[in-house]
Every structure is written in structure tokens, then in C-alpha cells.
């Protein structure tokens, strides 16, 4: 495995684990108390308003919970032992990252235009997903140019 490919893979793994950690935190906060969120509860930055809004649940499942399988999957797909795995793995990584970024775009729209508030913890997940998407694409590009 080339150093560049290993480096992209390590970055993707770190981003995936960080996203999983924040998703776990948001899930615990959802089921425990919104006050558990270390975030403002007034004005535009209002984590409680976002995480307790009707839009924070899709088909009866809290959005925070939906982040868990995504980041578990991305963590698994980015494990070093799988970096040189079957040929379908890069496509699976790109597919999963694409699903993640599309969902993030939807969630950002909901925060800005429906809930009219921003959750900083949610934004951290959005940024991690966005960067993970870019790193996944860059890593796939490096693999095809080798």
C-alpha cells in the first residue's frame, strides 16, 4: 500500500470515528435531556430547538440515531485491514459517503429554513461528513492514479 493511500485511509478513519463519537453524544442527549447539550438555547444557535423539533425525527427514528449506522459503516469501510480489500470497497465507500452528504444537505436545509436554528453539535457532524466525503473521493482518486 502506498503511503498516500494509507494517509487518506487514516484520515477517513479518524473522521469516521469522530463522527461516530458525536453521533453517540447526540443520541444520548436526545434520549436523556436536551440540557445535556453544551450549546446555546437562545437565538439562531439553539441546539435544543433543533434536536427537539418535529424535524429531528424521521419515520419515528431520531436523526441522531440515523447517524450511528452511517458512521459505524464508514468506520468499518475505512479500517486499515480493508484498505486493500475487494475491488468493490472503494465504490462502497463512495456510495456511503454520497448518501451521507445528501442527507447532510437535507438536514442543513431543514435547520436553516424549517427550524430556523442551528445546532453546533449537528454542524460538527455535517462538517465531518462533508470532509469525509471529500477525503473519500480524494482517496479513491489516488487509488485510481496509482
3-state SS record for the chain: CCHHHHHHHHHHHHHHHHHHHHHHHHHHHHHCCHHHCCCCECCCEEHHHHHCCHHHEECCEEHHHHHHHHHHHHHHHCCHHHCCCCCCHHHHHHHHHHHHHHHHHHHHHHHHHHHCCECHHHHHHHHHHHHHHHHHHHHHHHHHCC
Q: Is the pLDDT of residue 122 over 70?
A: yes
- Separation between Cα atoms, residue 48 and residue 101, nearest integer Å: 23
Q: What size, in residues, is the chain?
A: 146
Of the segments 38-47, 48-57, 110-119, which one has the largest average pLDDT value?
A: 110-119
Q: What mean pLDDT comes out for the span 83-97?
A: 84
Q: What is the pTM of this model?
A: 0.88
pLDDT of amino acid 21: 96
58 or 140: which leads in pLDDT: 58
Q: How does residue 22 score in pLDDT terms, banded at 50, 70 and 90?
A: very high
The three grid cell numbers given for residue 132, joined into one nine-digit string:
469525509
pLDDT of amino acid 3: 66
Closest CA to 103 of 47, 63, 50, 48: 63
Q: Is the pLDDT of residue 146 over 50?
A: no
Amino acid at each position: 500500500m502506498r503511503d498516500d493511500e494509507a494517509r487518506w485511509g487514516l484520515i477517513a478513519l479518524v473522521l469516521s470515528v469522530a463522527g461516530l463519537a458525536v453521533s453517540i453524544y447526540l443520541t444520548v442527549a436526545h434520549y436523556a435531556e436536551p440540557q445535556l447539550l453544551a450549546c446555546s438555547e437562545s437565538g439562531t444557535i439553539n441546539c435544543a430547538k433543533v434536536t427537539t423539533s418535529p424535524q429531528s425525527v424521521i419515520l419515528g427514528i431520531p436523526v441522531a440515531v440515523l447517524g450511528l449506522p452511517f458512521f459505524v459503516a464508514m468506520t468499518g469501510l475505512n479500517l486499515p485491514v480493508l484498505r486493500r480489500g475487494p475491488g468493490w470497497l472503494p465504490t462502497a465507500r463512495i456510495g456511503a459517503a454520497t448518501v451521507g452528504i445528501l442527507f447532510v444537505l437535507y438536514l442543513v436545509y431543514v435547520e436553516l429554513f424549517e427550524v430556523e436554528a442551528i445546532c453546533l453539535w449537528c454542524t460538527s457532524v455535517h462538517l465531518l461528513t462533508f470532509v469525509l466525503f471529500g477525503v473519500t473521493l480524494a482517496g479513491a482518486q489516488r487509488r485510481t492514479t496509482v
